Chain A
Amino acid sequence: MSATEARLLRVDLNRQRWSAESIRDDWCGSYFGGKGLGIRYMLEEVPERVDPLSKDNKLFLMGGPFTGTAIPCSGKLAVISKSPATGTILDCSIGGSFAAEMRFAGYLGIALEGASDRPVIVFVSDDQVEILEAQEYWGKRVSETEFLLREKFGSDASVLCIGPAGENLVPMACICSELYRQAGRGGIGAVMGSKKVKAVVVKGSRGVKVANVRDLLERVRELLKEDVLTDTNLWAYTDGTPLLVGVSQGCGLLPTRNFQEGVFDGYEGLATDAVKAARIAKKACTSCALGCGNYIRLGSLALEGPEYETLAMCGSNVGISDLAVVARFNALCDDWGIDTISAGSTAAFAMELREKGMADLGLQFGRTEEYLQLPEKIARREGVGAELSKGVKWLAQKYGGEEFAMHVKGLELPGYDPRGSWGMALAYATADRGGCHLRAWAVGSEAFGGGDPFTCDGKAQLVIDLQDFNSIKFSLIICDFWALSAETLAELVSLVTGRETSPEQLRKAGERIWNLGRLFNVREGFSAVDDIVPRRLLIEPLRAGPAAGKVPGEDRFMGMLAEYYSLRGWDNRGIPTRKKLRDLGIEEALINVLKIPD
């Protein structure tokens, strides 16, 4: 094995066996790692239309070529599977130290395949891999699980685990690490639960070698000063994501009371100053120079968080302005293993159903008592949790309210109302995993970045550029919060891999990876009709704030979507054309297997 060779550890849970193999060199060159490589494996190895919670689905834990090096903001792990919430491809990103530790152990990725018939823990320490009985941990919450496992395997071990929600196959269950970091969305924790894997524990002693260590170190030293620790990025350290509460409020796009409003009277209670007043420490992921994590203490409660999405979706969006309540809800979701965005969004939908007299699921805007019982009920699927655990799409199918059911493809929407930044409507509609802001954070260029938020002109290209760039960023794995250029990325790739790489090659790889995700979704039956946002966001004007009275409207939205397909080289059903796929160098075999029309 050469020092820089990329290896995949396969854990076969059906037979309780494992094996390690080299990752195809051409795949490393085309897809790099993380998201791209994960999707490539999913297309190759997971059969069409498989039940996401069956043993035929796989779960890939992937690092990238930068993982475990001193490259700043390279510490995150990509988790790739098919989503039980949406049925789409799903890639999540989780911070902490797990990815670096996995790489130190000698693996670029770990694939969890098949399903165990009893709870297990997968323990990896360099060449030693064990699949251990985990009955005693099953049912335990995240914090207890993690403390017990660190006691057992040593405090230097990195733990990735699920809580009771994942065990109970809740489609909004997350995977957790270091108590407060999550691969949150799309029910990725339920996939792990369906395989009966309570935790993956990893320790590595081998380290990571790169092609040109000395030049890389010198370049990183410069970049730290010139490109990372600069005003562009340091908001992550000084404030972290809570900074966005005030920004969103100021732009009139802070989701409030299930997106009925875009400004929230009580926003100051959730704003960055409130979080900073409670802050006792800053915390970074491995190799991150920014350290966005805010460790706060409010009375007896201590946690890292809440992040902006939680403050919005579990605060303003449910009509709650008390940071202590949002923080408590956040801590409960973390501990039971639930995604805060989907939990908050689902609660808000239930609250509006009640307000409109359509259903009473015991939740009411601004009321905290029942709200704080929700995480446990969802995780256990007990009481109202039995239905609420299924998310907004399912609730709307049962109780109605489709036009204000805030999801795309079954994934609940995060904290940016597209009526205050119209490109976000397209970003949500076309996101590979459903209603997600991370594929194309158009709002950063529009409402937050000085662009015109109330036009559809130019937004198709903006969303495409962001999706493609983030695809490569999430495959090489650099955190969202380092706003680096394609040129810098290419320089780092060249130094790490020894293969001279141009920014143009990376842009193309990003486009290739985005198309690959689309192919997966096309194979699963998704098409243009699914690329839509809830009707409220297109036609129902906000009544107050800077975005009052501004709606993109259905026609303009459809025009923007058609422009998007055309610029992407997709047909009007949203299917990539053979010509586009050939241009991108996507294997002919794949095109044929997927029956892509001419």
Chain B
Amino acid sequence: MLGYASVIFQGLTRRGADYQPRNKGDMQWGDFELGKLAFDQEKCIGCQLCQMACSAYNEGVFNPQRSRLRITVRYSGGSLEKKGALCDLCLACVDACGQEAVFVRDGRLIYEADKCTGCQACVDACPQQLIRTDAHGYPLFCSLCLRCVEFCPTGALYTADVADTR
């Protein structure tokens, strides 16, 4: 379905004067004509630089809890447990959204914040429980800005063609 997928955010006006848009104009965006994010857990060393970069670029704060991907590496009873959750464009959020605030158009995943009511149906629908919310309860979608890939020191994060790996 999506040959090349990307995410576009439109409209950030409806939330009042105190609302700080998550995706500020001064943030640089990656090339939209890229595939989805992928994770090679063998290569991951658990440094969390991906989540540091994600939260800082998108939210202006270093805080893994505000990042759009979640990777944890911990020792647990005789093994090193690695868990990775990142947006693989499964589109469960699109199906769940009753407001058409998140949808696909021209091969791109689009989130229109103006339409979003903050109902969090997308949050509940995400099979990876990946979608976190901001302080106002609105969803934080991965925009495929690929800062996480840039900051990954081992190549554990990379982009893959959506069609190839789905």
Contacts and interface: CB of A to CB of B under 8 A. Distances in A.
Interface string A204-217: 01111110011011
Interface stretch (A167-175, A278-286, A519-527): A278-286
B151 interface: yes
Nearest to B24: A214
The CB with the most chain A CB atoms within 10 A, among B47, B62, B64, B151, is that of B62
Nearest to B154: A291
Given A287-B49, A289-B47, A213 B60 contact: yes
B56 A213 contact: yes
B65 A205 contact: yes
B55 to A, nearest CB: 7
Interface stretch (A65-73, A130-138, A269-277, A367-375): A65-73
Interface residues of A, number: 46
B153 A217 contact: no
B61 A70 contact: no
Contacts of A302: 78-79
B39 interface: no
Interface residues of B, number: 33
Interface in A276-306: 280-291, 293, 295, 302, 304
A208 B77 contact: no
Contact of B62 (A70, A178, A221, A284): A70
A217 B80 contact: no
Given A217-B56, A221-B151, A289-B49, A283 B62 contact: no
Interface string B63-77: 111100000111111
A284 B47 contact: yes
A558 interface: no
Contacts of B47: 284-289, 291
B153 A289 contact: yes
Contacts of A325: none
Contacts of B77: 147
A283 B151 CA distance: 16
B35 to A, nearest CB: 22
A180 interface: yes
17 contacts: A69-B56, A70-B53, A147-B76, A155-B72, A207-B63, A208-B61, A209-B61, A214-B26, A217-B53, A282-B154, A283-B46, A285-B47, A288-B45, A288-B47, A290-B153, A291-B154, A293-B45
Interface of A: 68-70, 72, 97, 100, 104, 147, 150, 155-156, 178-180, 205-210, 213-214, 216-217, 220-221, 224, 228-229, 237, 280-291, 293, 295, 302, 304
The 9 A-B residue pairs with the shortest CB-CB distance, nearest first, are A207-B63, A291-B45, A289-B153, A70-B52, A207-B61, A284-B47, A284-B45, A208-B62, A69-B62
